[in-house]
Amino acid sequence: MSTTPDRARIRLRSISSRAYEHPADRGALVALRSLRGFDEVFKRLSGLFNERALRLMFLAGAVRVNERQFPDVHDYVRDAAYVLDLDRVPELYIQMNPQPNAMAIGSSRPFIVMTTGLFDLLDAEEQRFVVGHEVGHILSGHAVYRTMLLALIRLAARVAWIPLGYVGLRAIVAALEEWYRKSELSCDRAGLLASQNPEAAKRALMKMAGGSRLAEMNVDAFLEQAREYDAAEDVRDGFLKLLITQGHTHPFAVIRLAELDRWISDGDYRRILDGDYPRRDTDTDARIGEEARRAAQSYREAWERTSDPLVGTLRDVVGTAASTGGKIFDTVAERWRNGSSARRSG
């Protein structure tokens, strides 16, 4: 079990991941969690990625963090697990790799990997943010569904020669990539809740874009970049943004910082620290249709903020589709639950 953090951070007892998840991420997760048995199917499919083999690989080829190896990072993991109230402190491995990266792997016994490229790039408080981000992925259970995305990407590559099959799979992959990007925004919030240091969180995101020369960068100027990227000059730029986003599982750094800054400014961060957040024992009460409508509302609000001319032509169509999708999810989930109950009683 985790121990008390080394400085006064607020422990968020029994916090549900719904507290920090982006509405589009939360809607998808609530839908999948509500389909009893679906999570087990996904976990079995995650065996395609062979979690045990991966853990053995990192055990053999990386450094496992503990009290004697990277002890400071070990404290960051324990602190994040304490603040976000995890039952088990996940293992963390430092891997020799100049590419800055970190990831949470596995579903039955998740663990974290951080490359030396990222470790060397960040200071102590920025590392706390990144560790908290990955612990957020574990609390949300993202690894199972990310494994599905990886499997579908590999499958799409294998059937690329079948036009209709490939088009159908690419549509599914594109939807999963959009969810994946929103899950990254969710866990930026989790990282902030774990570290409880907004300035360090912003510095970390800036470094991921511009490297270690933080003295040459400015948060306000970086946010101006985000606004300029958002405000496309005409419809062509809107289409180009859609094209360059395809194939990316992470939002661009300026978008991540702008979204985190907005979440703080809207008061959600402070509200959670003050104890106003959903608990895990209420997760089963979450309604799929309501979460889908919240996801639709979040997209509408984002579209109303944006100056991108392409978005204006898509607002009503996608908003209506998302709302309808929520109603459909409600019906499907209800039938799934009723069917499961009938099978158990029979």
The DSSP 8-state label assigned to residue 66 in this structure reads S
Distance between CA atoms of residues 98 and 278, nearest Å:
39
Q: Highest mean pLDDT range out of 44-48, 269-273, 284-288, 314-318? A: 269-273
Residue 109 lies in a domain: yes
* pLDDT exceeds cutoff 70 at 104: yes
**pLDDT at res. 239:** 63
Q: How confident is the model at residue 229 (pLDDT cuts 50, 70, 90)?
A: confident
**pLDDT at res. 107:** 75
pLDDT of 292-321, one tens digit each?
566 555 555 554 555 555 555 554 444 444
Selected residue with higher pLDDT from 248 and 21: 21
**CA-CA distances (angstroms) from residue 75 to 25, 79, 80, 91, 317?**
29, 6, 9, 12, 48
Residue 2 lies in a domain: no
**pLDDT at res. 231:** 77
The DSSP 8-state label assigned to residue 79 in this structure reads H
Distance between CA atoms of residues 17 and 26, nearest Å:
8
* pLDDT exceeds cutoff 80 at 237: no
Distance between CA atoms of residues 254 and 268, nearest Å:
20
Q: Which of 56-65, 117-126, 228-237 has the lowest mean pLDDT?
A: 228-237
* pLDDT exceeds cutoff 80 at 63: yes
CB 241 within 8 A of CB 308: yes
Residue 3 lies in a domain: no
Element spanning 93, H or E: strand 91-95
Residue 102 lies in a domain: yes
Q: Are strands 102-105 and 63-64 parallel, antiparallel or unpaired?
A: unpaired
* pLDDT exceeds cutoff 90 at 273: yes
Amino acid identity at 162 = I
**pLDDT at res. 50:** 67
Residue 68 lies in a domain: yes
**pLDDT at res. 147:** 62
By percentage, how much of the chain surpasses pLDDT 70? Answer: 60
**pLDDT at res. 322:** 47
Q: Which of 46-50, 72-76, 99-103, 152-156 has the lowest mean pLDDT?
A: 46-50
**pLDDT at res. 227:** 87
Residue 160 lies in a domain: yes
Residue 216 lies in a domain: yes
Residues recognised as catalytic: 134
**pLDDT at res. 153:** 62
CB 257 within 8 A of CB 206: yes
**CA-CA distances (angstroms) from residue 205 to 77, 331, 339?**
19, 40, 46
When the pLDDT of each residue in the chain is averaged and rounded to a whole number, the result is 78
Distance between CA atoms of residues 117 and 96, nearest Å:
8
The helix/strand count (H/E) of the chain reads as 16, 4
Q: Which of 123-127, 208-212, 248-252 has the lowest mean pLDDT?
A: 248-252
Selected residue with higher pLDDT from 153 and 12: 12
By percentage, how much of the chain surpasses pLDDT 90? Answer: 46
**pLDDT at res. 68:** 98
Residue 6 lies in a domain: no
Selected residue with higher pLDDT from 7 and 208: 208
Selected residue with higher pLDDT from 120 and 178: 120
Average pLDDT over residues 187-192: 97
Angle between helices 142-158 and 124-140 (to 10 degrees): 80
* pLDDT exceeds cutoff 50 at 325: no
Domain that holds residue 59: 17-345
- Domains in the chain, number: 1
